[in-house]
Structure 1
Amino acid sequence: MREVAFIKQNKEKWLNFEKTIFGKQLKNPDELASLYIQLINDLSYAQTYYPKSKIIGYLNQLAAKAFQKIYKTKREDKNRFIEFWKTEVPLIVYEYRRYVLYAFLLFFTFTAIGVLSAAKDDTFVRLILGDHYVNTTMENIEKGDPVAIYKSGSNWGSFIGITLNNLYVGILTFVLGIFGGVGTGYKLLQTGIMLGAFQYMFQAEGVLWESVRGIWIHGAMEIFAIVIEGAAGLILGASILFPKTYSRFVSFKIGVKNGVKILISTFPFTFAAGFLEGYITRYSNIMPNWLSVGIILITLSIISYYYLVYPFIVNKKLRHSYGVV
């Protein structure tokens, strides 16, 4: 069958399915599952006979939306709060997994630029971090406590101030995605270059390990969360630039809705990072190495698992529940 004939034959069915998925009046879960299996069959056919067709992207996107709607309908009697974290967010992250990859690639690239720039230009670190911060840090290094700057202020005051600032940065990183993702890219650029220059400063002074075992106690979750917030911003930008089969307004609404959910999912990690910075990091210089490294590995593992591993597990489980391999 020619591709044009295939599309003509199934177009009405796909449009009706799309209305069912995005409409307010939902069919029962069993009927939705039946329609979903038909959609998967069409997707498989298209992938086999029209591997370069744009229709594959459309059917993939429709299938991903169907996953979320079917599961939500099936489990609507369950605790909504628990389902949000347990199922809804992971499925959204899985659907937009390539944007998570883009965000990490951008961030790592910008961090590398920060390191190389600091290595090639002696004035770069001061340009990025400011004279006051650099001078204070250099004094602390001479005193034998490179991360002493994190000991200023009270525990609770630091926790509140740091957490509010990180929440502001995360929300701004997402919201700036409205400019086609360029604003989000700029925030990732700022954060990445700052991190690269920051870590190189300690490397140049021969205290990189001392800084890592202290700063990354809270930094693992803090930085990771910012990258995920960057991914949410890129999703928002892409919804405007690449509406695909939707009108630009409908695509934008979908991008905002899903982006906000991903953004909200980072808040607990941001709070945890603020708590660690306010109450734990300040004691890193008196901790044994195994404890500080253990905290870093545990926090990094938790947030990495939730965003990089768990979405695939949830998606696979849901597919199996509907007999789709």
Structure 2
Amino acid sequence: MKKRLVSMILSAVLFATSVPAAAFAEDANTQNPVVHSEKGTSQGSDARKESGIDYKKNGGTFAEGYTAPSNYDEPVTELPGAEQITKAGYEFAGWYDNEEFNGEPVTSLSTADHSGSVVLYAKWTERYYYVDIPQTVNADGDKLTIKADAGGLYDKDHVSVTVQSENDWKLKSGLHSLAYELRNPQSGSALENGSVVASLTKDESYKQQEYDCNILDKPNYTGDYTDHLTFNIAFQDTAYNITYETNGGTITKKNPQQADQMITVTQEQYQAGTVLKDLPAPVKKSSTFLGWCYDEAYREELKKSRYQI
């Protein structure tokens, strides 16, 4: 679990007889999305044909059993999308006809607007998240707007943003205080300490929520009233367990806490996106290890030398 804190100030200039409007410059605390690409391999034996399509997948993989259109002799109205091509830790961002990803993505192909072999480059957005929180908000009738966005998240990745009031939801000016609230107009509920103001997952990767700022007490004293809010942004990333069914064999590895000691391994945990180059080989007396399989019937053998979790 990775955490970071972001702060903001709610403030209001209040008078006993009137409450003037005040304007504050809104700043953003953002983390820009990162775009990453790498050269990939072509797809399909028809790429050399006059109207062939050459897919540069840039590290992506077509879904098992899916066959992409190999030419546009007949108009291609739908190119492979996010459900047909994937890359662990990235979000598919479309096909482009140039390596620099300039212009608009290509969504269809036909002989009316293309000729010759067409090369398409897959664009990927790297795993990211950002939360946009203003630095200051006028507590007298203004709105607090929280924006959060993410891309390329793994199945169990989770971004959660909670809020904490320094003055327990009171605006203070010296010894004087005024109760206030930040209320969600959709749900009708007011924020409390520990309330979740944004939650992002692979399936819900965008959130924008406004909260109405309302002062609940009548001011009897002139002053600058403020409260300090802290937003706790926590990122829970995805990890997978690999369990080794050795069928009587034994896997031994060096103890990471004590290098001169060997330990027996039956399970290991890796972060999503980890590339495993060499799987361990168990040892069994009077037996020869032939390899690993996905199933107990030994029908699906792991044949590659590198695997990405």
In proportion to residue count, which structure has more strand?
2
In proportion to residue count, which structure has more helix?
1
Range class of TM-score, shorter chain:
under 0.3
TM-score, normalization by structure 2: 0.24
Q: Which has the larger radius of gyration?
A: 2
Q: Between the two structures, name the one with larger relative contact order (CA 8 Å, sep ≥ 6).
A: 1
